Structure 1
Amino acid sequence: MRAIEITEPGGPEVLEWHEVPDPEVGRGDVLIDVTASAVNRADVLQRQGFYDPPPGTSPYPGLEASGVVAEVGADVEQFKPGDAVCALLGGGGYAERVAVPWQQVMPVPDRVSPREAAGLPEVACTVWSNVFMIGRLRKGETLLVHGGASGIGTFAVQLAKALGSHVVATVGSAEKAERVKELGADEVINYREESFADKVRADVILDIMGAKYLAGNVKALRTGGRLVIIGLQGGRKAELDLGAMLAKRASVHATGLRSRPVEEKGVIVRSVVDNVWPLVGAGAVRPVVHAEVPMADAAQAHRLLDSGEHVGKILLVR
C-alpha cells in the first residue's frame, strides 16, 4: 500500500507519499480500506518530532479515518467486510489501509458522507469524553470553548448547544466569529481585542492553550467550575493559584486521548455512538469541513493548518 511517511522531523515538506508494507491484522483488529483521513494538531507535532506514536501503533500520521471494512480478525464479531465505518486511531490514517482494534471502530452516522465521516472520530471522542464525561457539562450550564473555529471547537459548540448549554467561544477574527455564531454559539469573543477572563463566567472550560491561559481560565470559572485542558499551544508550565481554586471549589483536569489503552478508548467510542451519533443523524450536529486535499498532497494540508486560516476540519481524501 501507499502511505504518508515523515522522512525526518521538520516542516510540511518532509511528508512524502511512499510504498510501505501492508498493515498486519491481529485477531481483534479491523482492516479498513481508507476513503479519507483528517489533519489534526497532533499530526503537526508528530511531523515536527515532538509527539511520537504510542508503542505498537502505526508510525504514519493520522488519528482518524473513514472507509470500508476489508477484513476482520478472527475474534471480531462486531463488524464484517463491506461495512462503512470510521475509526479513532493511534496513527496510520494517512494511508490506503489501516488496521485498528475493533473497539475503536464506529459505523458511519446517518446524514454524513463517507468522506465527511473521516473528520468525526477524533473531535467527537475528544469533545464527548472531556466536556461531558470528565467535565460533566449539564443542560443550562455555560461552556467556554477556546479555539471555537477549530475542528474541536466547531464540534464542541454544536454539541453543547444541541444538549441545552449556553456556549461561549473564543476566536481570532471577525470572520471566524460569524462562522462560529452560525454554528450556535451564544457569545463569541475575539481574543485579539477582548479578555475572555473579564467577560465570561463558565461552568466548564475546554482549553487548548495550557499555560498561557491558565490564570485567565481560573478567573473565568464559576464556583464548582471544571477546567479541562487538552492542548499546550500556549506552553506547558504556569503558576496555579490554589487559593482561587479553593475559594471556587473548582477542579482542573489535563487529559490526552491518543495514549490511552484500547479498553478506555473503547468505552469512549461506544458512548459516542450511543449519545452523539443520534444527534449527528438528526442533523443537530454536523461535520464542518474547510477543505478536501488529496492524501498524497498532505504537505499542502499541513500548510493550511499551520496558517490558522481554516474553520473546521481539513480532510485528506483518496
Structure 2
Amino acid sequence: MKAIQFKEYGGPEVLESVQVEDPALGEGEVKIKVTAIGVNYADTARREGAYVVPTPLPFIPGAEVAGVVEQTGKGADQFKKGDRVVTLIGSGGYAEYVVTKESNLIPVPEELDDENAVAIPLQGLTAYHLLTTMGRLEKGETVLIHAAAGGVGSLAVQLAKHYGAEVIATASSEEKLNLAKELGADHTVNYTNPNWRDEVMEATDGRGVDIALEMAGGDIFHETVKCMRSFGRLVVYGVASGNPPQMYPSGLMNRNLSVIGFFLPQIMKKPVLFEKSLKELLKLVNTGELKLTVGGVYNLDEAAHVHEILQARKTKGKLVLKP
C-alpha cells in the first residue's frame, strides 16, 4: 500500500511517498480502507522529533482517519465490511489502510461525509475537554481562544458559546477573524498586533479572562498569562511556535492562577470521559449547533505541502488528506 513516511526528523521535505506492506490484522482488530485523514499539529511535531512522547524512525504519521471497514479479525463482531467509521490511532494514518482495535471505532452518521467526520475526534474532543474537563468552564465566564480559526479553535469558539461563555478570539488575519466572528466570537483580536494584549484587556474592561486556551508557546504564552484575571485557568495544549516558554511558578501566586497541561491520549484512557464527550459532540453536529470547518482537502502525495501551509498559519479549519 501507499503511505507517507519520514526516516529522519526535519522539515516538510523529509516526508516521502513509499510502498509498504498492509498492516497485519490481529484478534479483536479491524482493517479500514482509509478515505480521509486528519492533519494536526501533532503530526508536524512528530516529524520534527519534538512530540510529547518519543517518535521512532522510520515513522508514518497520522492519528485520525475515517474510512470503510475492509476486514474484521477474530472476535471483532460489532462492525461489518462496508461500515463507515472514524477513529483515533497512535500513528500510521497517512496510508491507504490502517488496523485498529474494534473498540476504538466510531460509526459515522449517514448524513456526515468523511471529510467532516474526520474533523470531530481529535480536534472536537480536544476543544471539548480543554473547556470542560480542564478549564472547568462555568456559564458567564470569559474565554480567550487563540488560533480561533483553526481546527481546534473554531470548534472551541462554538462550544464556549454553547456553554454560555463570552468569547475573545484571536487569529492572524482579517479573514480568519471574520470566520471566528461568524462562529460566535464576541470579540476578535489580531495577535500579530504588538499590542494585542491591551485589546484583550480592553474587551474585558480591564478584568482579564477566566480561561485561556493556548497552543503557540513563546511570547504568546507569556502575554496570555498577563491577560488572566484572579483564579484564571490557562490551559496549554501545544507549542506550535516551537519555542517552549520558561515559567516561574511563583509568578502565579499573586493572582491565584492555574496553568494546566492537556494531552488528549490521556483522555482516551478514560472510556467514561471519551464516550460521554463524543456522544455530546455528535449530537451537536447532527442538530447543526456545531459547525465543522474543512479548510482544504488534498491528495495524500501533497502531505509535505499541507504541513508547510499549516505551520505557516495559512489555513482555516480542518485540513484533510485523501489517499
Deviation digits for residues 33-57 of structure 1, max 9, x if unmatched? Answer: 1101021111112222333876899
User: Residue 286 of structure 2 aligns to which amino acid in structure 1?
Assistant: G
TM-score (norm 1): 0.89
* Counterpart residue number, 2:269: 263
TM superposition shift of 1:111: 4.1
Secondary structure of 1:276's partner? Answer: helix
Q: After superposition, what is the alpha-carbon deviation per residue over 1:93-135, rounded to whole angstroms, capped at 9, x for unaligned? A: 1111112233432222464212221222110121112221121
Q: Which residue of 1 aligns with 2:302?
A: 297
Equivalent residue for 2:235?
A: 228
Measure, in 1, the Cα distance between the counterparts of 2:188 and 2:52: 35
**CA distance in 2 between partners of 1:77 and 1:270 (Å):** 19
Q: Distance between the aligned counterparts of 2:28 and 2:228, measured in 1? A: 43
Pair 2,269 (structure 1): closer, same or farther in 2 beyond 3 Å: farther
CA, structure 1 residues 53+33, in 2 after alignment: closer, same or farther (shift >3 Å)? farther
Q: 1:288: which partner in 2? A: 293
Contact 2:158-2:183 within 8 A present in 1 as well: yes
Give the deviation of 1:155 after TM superposition.
1.3
**1:210 corresponds to which letter in structure 2?**
G
**Post-superposition offset of 1:29:** 2.7
Say whether 1:242 aligns with 2:243: no
The within-5 A match list for 1:66-215 is 66-109=66-109, 111-193=111-193, 194-196=195-197, 198-199=201-202, 200=204, 201-215=208-222
Measured against aligned partners, the alpha-carbon deviations of 1:172-205 in whole angstroms (never above 9, x if no partner) come to: 1122111111111111111122323533422221
**TM-aligned CA deviation for residue 62 of structure 1:** 0.8
Change (3 A) 1:190 1:84: same
Segments of structure 1 that go 5 or more residues without pairing to the other structure are none
RMSD of aligned alpha carbons: 2.5
Structure 2 partner of 1:59: 59
Q: Name the stretch that deviates more: 73-82 or 231-240.
A: 73-82
1:314 has 2:316 as partner: no
Call closer, same or farther: CA 1:14–1:215 in 2, change over 3 Å. closer
Residues 27-83 of structure 1 deviation map (CA, whole Å, 9 limit, x = unaligned): 343322110102111111222233387689993111211111223343445433322
- In the alignment, the residues of structure 2 paired with residue 157 and residue 305 of structure 1 have an alpha-carbon distance, to the nearest angstrom, of 20
Shift of 1:148: 0.9
Using the alignment, how far apart are the partners of 1:159 and 1:125 within structure 2? 11
1:275 and 2:280 correspond? yes
Aligned length: 315
CA distance in 1, matches of 2:302, 2:55: 27
Partner of 2:22: 22
Amino acid at match of 1:80: K
C-alpha change, 1:280 and 1:189, in structure 2 (3 Å) is: same
Structure 2: distance between partners of 1:74 and 1:54: 31
Which residues of structure 2 form unaligned runs of 5+? none
**Structure 1 stretch displaced more, 121-130 or 198-207:** 198-207
Conserved? CA contact 2:293–2:317, under 8 Å: yes
Aligned pair in 2 of structure 1 residues 153, 29: CA closer, same or farther (>3 Å)?
same
* Contact preservation (8 Å) 2:29, 2:102: yes
270-279 vs 71-80, greater mean Cα deviation: 71-80
Secondary structure at the counterpart of residue 119 of structure 1: coil
Identify if the C-alpha distance between structure 1 residues 272 and 157 changes in structure 2 by more than 3 Å, giving closer, same or farther: same
- Preserved contact between residue 111 and residue 280 of structure 1 (Cα < 8 Å): no
Q: Distance in 1 between matches of 2:237 and 2:104?
A: 20
**TM-score of the aligned structures, taking structure 2 as reference length:** 0.88
> Which deviates further from its counterpart, 53-62 or 20-29?
53-62
Change (3 A) 1:307 1:210: closer
